[in-house]
With several copies, the nearest count.
Chain A
């Protein structure tokens, strides 16, 4: 095993990786940009190296600086986390060439899978079902128009190099295509450094179901069951759960086998995720492979009991996977909610700012992977994720109830978050019935507004806080306990919020 690794990332995922590394007695090196000088991942590492300006190109995307940092600190491997350089095959190759270990798949697998059109072709050849669509990137608008006519509207414009919804556009009529293509190409260029786009058939209210895979260097590939990630806003996942309410054991086995076949087709090594769309008839289509650790990996960890970061490091160090497919068992139900600095009332627009106060939910079955603390300023330069709240319970209803309890314990003051929105989604009847699909938010929550009952309580809090005035809190002061008031008093306007 490595004695020291560098984590080429920031925020909650860097913290999460460092915790497992510490438990494996592997020392950790953080890297940071100007604005992240006192960010949580810097505080968590054993040592930290300053990279440069806050602009990602000068810091978290800068190959040279990261490699110098690894060499100067004596790190033997680089874990890229997710985002930034995690799916950049050129970086992975450079790391290897420098005599360091990249904790992820070989550059060649990443290249194959990173280009969505190549990946689609490869999967078609191996009989993994793919969504009807173009098999090569295209920039000529006339050819895109022709392809769209052939596939049939609605079509989806997608970035060939991308992921996470970046550069993705739904196009319902031919007239919308030129603008959508141009915007998508521009977003893709700025996000991935590659503006290639392609089109595919747009499915009506499918589920997003993905399979976690692990592959060692010796050709042993297993899957760790599925995650359903249908609850999305702006094409980005916001609630994930496992198991999927939609999968029978038979379908799970078939999809799992397809995921393993997809990984094998690409010569995959390390942890990865094979994403599928599952349509309403039960047919599933290969979407893409994410060649990295996913944001939502904790729900798989909680149901399978396996630490994915530990496995990643073991695989990267050349250890064989110590279990077979039949040894991997799942138990109970896990749900993750992503907590972003964003405003659910304004199309989930980023809401950076200073965290005035933060307090973590606790208690049985709750895991909160985050990088937030009171007084920390959420930088405007990076993805606005604050943390991931994850719960595990015996079954789906208990997990929903636990998530609601945990969200209600999760205090973040100073930026907008989707917590209230998430509470309403989790309390929704159709969600509780497991009737989820990728347009769920659009269909049922597009006109969502915060409750006025919440306004009433906020007004109350403001008023009593003003009346208490500036204070140094002294408990056990001489005034004696505030006597309890009969709970039988009429609750009036406030009792609706119980």
Chain B
């Protein structure tokens, strides 16, 4: 079985043989082959022997992926193929729009429609968990719409300010 997994900004490929009746498998990670045996301890807890070394891995399924924990390190692991489909919806890109990174409340809107903004110029200040965050313009351009107002509850992915980018020619000036 082949897996393409996205962890953070990296995508990696793994190949694993199906589990045999003693719950053993061989995992190929590029050139290196590992022998793996696994026991399910409960719905979230796996005990894995990786080349004989015992590891406790904890797995929690979430929408579009799973959290995996190993020795204090937690990762959100996504299936790269499912991910591709989400990406086209624009939700998962690096910040290229004025959108909060976490559910938040809008404190101030600092730009107006038709205003020219520079890359990095503060557009909206939001508050989340007692901290103020300034959302900056991801690129230079012209504000074409302001979709929020002070006091609004906003969510990640919600575009608070629409900015039409400068053409490259203009940006190079």
Contact = CB atoms under 8 A, between A and B. Distances in A.
Contact of B129 (A352, A468, A480, A492): A352
Interface in A339-398: 341, 346, 349-352, 356-357, 359, 373-375, 380-384
Nearest to B134: A183
B129 A350 contact: yes
A423 interface: yes
A455 B35 contact: no
A464 B48 contact: yes
A492 B52 contact: no
B73 A454 contact: yes
Contact of A383 (B73, B103, B130): B130
A414 B47 CA distance: 20
A349 B30 CA distance: 35
Most chain A C-beta atoms within 10 Å of own C-beta, residue among B25, B58, B62, B104: B58
Interface string B58-90: 111110001111111111010000000000000
Interface stretch (A207-215, A271-279, A289-297, A482-490): A482-490
A356 B3 contact: no
B41 A457 contact: no
A486 B72 contact: no
B43 to A, nearest CB: 6
Contacts of B38: 464, 468, 482
A15 interface: no
B108 to A, nearest CB: 8
A457 B55 contact: yes
A458 B68 contact: yes
B112 interface: no
Contacts of A251: none
B74 A455 contact: no
A482 B10 CA distance: 32
B40 A454 contact: no
A302 B43 CA distance: 35
Contacts of B7: 455, 458-459
Interface string B103-134: 11001000000000000000000011111110
Interface stretch (B14-22, B140-148, B165-173): B14-22
B53 A491 contact: yes
A449 B20 CA distance: 36
B19 A468 contact: yes
Contacts of A234: 131
A305 interface: no
Contact of A487 (B21, B53, B59, B74): B53
A451 B47 contact: no
Nearest to B47: A43
B159 interface: no
Most chain A C-beta atoms within 10 Å of own C-beta, residue among B69, B77, B132: B69
Contact of B102 (A380, A452, A465): A380
A450 interface: yes
A23 to B, nearest CB: 14
A187 interface: yes
Nearest to A469: B19
A46 B70 CA distance: 13
Interface in B1-41: 1, 3, 5, 7-8, 10, 12, 14, 16, 18-19, 21-25, 27, 29-30, 32-41
A412 B74 contact: yes
Q: Report the interface size class on chain A.
A: 35 or more
B56 A458 contact: no
A116 to B, nearest CB: 19
A413 B16 contact: no
B42 A375 contact: yes
A493 B129 contact: no
A150 interface: no
Interface in A47-64: 47-48
A490 B25 CA distance: 16
A461 B42 contact: no
B52 A488 contact: yes
A473 interface: yes
Contact of B37 (A352, A375, A485): A485
A304 interface: no
Contacts of B128: 350, 352, 380
Contacts of A450: 8, 73, 75
Contacts of B149: none
B52 A459 contact: no
B135 to A, nearest CB: 12
B51 interface: yes
A466 B3 contact: yes
Interface stretch (A92-100, A306-314, A319-327, A403-411): A403-411
A221 B35 CA distance: 48
Contacts of B61: 356
B39 A37 contact: yes
Contact of A461 (B41, B46, B49): B46
B59 A465 contact: yes
A413 B44 contact: yes
Given A450-B73, A461-B48, A491-B53, A346 B23 contact: no
A130 B141 CA distance: 48
Contacts of A471: 40, 43
Contact of A484 (B10, B42, B52): B52
A460 B75 contact: no
Given A461-B70, A473-B42, A494-B50, A413 B58 contact: yes
Given A451-B73, A464-B25, A465-B46, A48 B54 contact: yes
13 contacts: A30-B54, A352-B102, A357-B60, A380-B128, A380-B129, A413-B59, A417-B74, A419-B72, A454-B71, A465-B68, A468-B38, A473-B43, A489-B52
Interface of A: 30, 37-38, 42-43, 45-48, 166, 183, 186-187, 190-191, 234, 341, 346, 349-352, 356-357, 359, 373-375, 380-384, 407-408, 410-414, 416-417, 419-420, 423, 450-468, 471, 473, 475, 479-494, 497-498
Given A38-B39, A190-B107, A467-B18, 9 more contacts: A190-B132, A412-B74, A451-B73, A459-B3, A463-B5, A471-B40, A489-B35, A493-B29, A494-B53
Query: Which 4 residue pairs are nearest across A and B when measured between Cβ atoms?
Result: A356-B60, A454-B73, A487-B52, A458-B75
